[in-house]
């Protein structure tokens, strides 16, 4: 017999179906609640609301678990590449050698951006934020590739096109913003090596690809490839539910990611470290302010909305952070402050009791800075990594037999009926 939940409203009993996921998660199916009872549920932020069934990502915030298509994130970070992980998210299985070689060729083939798009990039004011430019340019891709249909072949082609071209457009926007010559992708470089070369190669100084940094970038993008129904992913699904084209849905996801509470968190970490540095580098004062509930100051990069224990991605990124900093042997006062702050927070009972562990944003901000990525590009880096997840979630929602256009309800708290008053009587 299927499990049900019983609720009593206005003295009447109702039986609601219970849905059980493969990892034992339980959800009360309230799809017919309003129809049968006249009631709706109220859940600001949707923290207790499941918007869909998904087979892509599983996470358990209490146990610190994250898996893509069932594979632990630790195993993917250790053994996989970003391209292989992207294929896994999109197709449900890891690629075999033939499939992996095929998509590598296709990613190279799709990596070049139409020359006319450079004019769009050059038209933006130099002070424009890269995320605003990226969101607009992804939407513009629809005009250059209008043939997108909802067939499997067309979606796969668009998936590879986006994953390849967004990387190129990100590097291109950086070069143009600095007034430098655009560097084109090279066929003999891997996905991550190509990005670093497009960012840092120049006519006066050739960029030497460092495999440790390539590994670090692979891991960074793998860790950010998907994260269940977060703000930007939910946005992609909601916008996509209106049956807009994929480019428009991804553009909306990029805009949602832009916010400082979501994708901008790693950028906020650097801003916080700079604030501490400008205040004399006094960590004790910063920690004291962070503990004061009446003080608006917050330690960015600590704690997580879902994880109530150590963020599993943070453990991996911390290890990579130590390797990168040791490799580069850079002298940077912000990185010194970050290491000291991490040491304090991991030992302080207040942070331990409140589950305020360093999260992935804390370490990724440090790694990106050490690699030479400009701070205003941090969220763009996040967006490149999250692309496979967004596209996979969009495709899954498209294939969902329970698909409906998203249309949340509300609890109205405004005025009761008020008759219109002619202007002379107001």
- Please list the active-site residues: 304, 361
Distance of CA 132 to CAs 164, 230, 252, 258, 388, Å?
19, 20, 11, 8, 20
Structure tokens at 115: 């020359």
Residue 268 CA to residue 369 CA, distance in Å, equals 12
Residues of the chain by 3-state class (helix, strand, coil), percent to 5: 55, 5, 40
Q: Which residues of 90-124 are buried (b: 16+ CB within 10 A; e: fewer)?
A: bbeebbeeeeeeebbebbbebbebeeebeeebeeb
Residue 14 CA to residue 30 CA, distance in Å, equals 11
Residue 140 CA to residue 137 CA, distance in Å, equals 5
- Could you give the angle at which helices 265-278 and 378-399 cross, rounded to 10 degrees? 160
Query: In 306-371, which ranges are continuous DSSP H helix?
Result: 312-328, 333-347, 349-353, 360-371
The residue ranges of DSSP E strands in 39-172, in sequence order, are 57-60, 65-68, 71-72
Place of tokens 């139409």: 114
């Amino acid at each position: 017999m299927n499990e049900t939940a019983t609720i009593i409203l206005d003295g009447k009993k109702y039986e609601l179906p219970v849905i059980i996921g493969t990892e034992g998660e339980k959800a009360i199916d309230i799809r017919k609640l309003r129809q049968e009872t006249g009631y709706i549920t109220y859940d600001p932020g949707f923290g207790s609301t499941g918007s869909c069934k998904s087979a892509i990502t599983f996470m358990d915030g209490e146990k610190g678990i994250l898996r893509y298509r069932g594979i632990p994130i630790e195993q993917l970070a250790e053994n996989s590449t970003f391209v292989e992980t992207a294929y896994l998210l999109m197709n449900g299985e890891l690629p075999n050698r033939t499939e992996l070689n095929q998509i590598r060729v296709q990613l190279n083939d799709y990596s070049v951006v139409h020359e006319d798009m450079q004019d769009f990039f050059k038209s933006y004011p130099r002070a424009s934020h890269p995320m605003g430019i990226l969101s607009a340019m992804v939407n513009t891709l629809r005009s250059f590739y209008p043939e997108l249909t909802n067939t499997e072949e067309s979606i796969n082609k668009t998936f590879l096109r986006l994953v390849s071209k967004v990387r190129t457009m990100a590097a291109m926007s950086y070069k143009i913003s600095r007034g430098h010559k655009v560097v084109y992708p090279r066929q003999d470089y891997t996905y991550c090596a190509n990005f670093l070369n497009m960012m840092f190669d120049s006519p006066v100084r050739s960029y030497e690809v460092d495999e440790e940094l390539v590994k670090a970038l692979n891991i960074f993008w793998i860790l950010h490839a998907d994260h269940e129904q977060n703000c930007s992913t939910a946005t992609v699904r909601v916008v996509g539910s209106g049956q807009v084209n994929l480019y428009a849905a991804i553009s909306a996801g990029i805009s949602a990611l832009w916010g400082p509470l979501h994708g901008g968190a790693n950028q906020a970490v650097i801003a916080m470290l700079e604030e501490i540095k400008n205040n004399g580098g006094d960590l004790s004062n910063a920690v004291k302010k962070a503990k004061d509930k009446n003080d608006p100051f917050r330690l960015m990069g600590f704690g997580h909305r879902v994880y109530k224990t150590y963020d599993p991605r943070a453990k991996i990124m911390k290890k990579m952070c130590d390797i990168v900093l040791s490799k580069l042997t850079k002298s940077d006062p912000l990185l010194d402050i970050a290491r000291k702050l991490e040491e304090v927070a991991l030992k302080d009972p207040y942070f331990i009791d409140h589950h305020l562990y360093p999260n992935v944003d804390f370490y990724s901000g440090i790694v990106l800075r050490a690699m030479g990525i400009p701070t205003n590009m941090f969220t763009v880096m996040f967006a490149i990594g999250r692309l496979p997840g967004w596209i996979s979630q969009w495709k899954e929602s498209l294939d969902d037999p329970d698909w409906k256009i998203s249309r949340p309800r509300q609890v109205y708290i405004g005025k009761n009926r008020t008759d219109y008053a002619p202007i002379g009587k107001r």
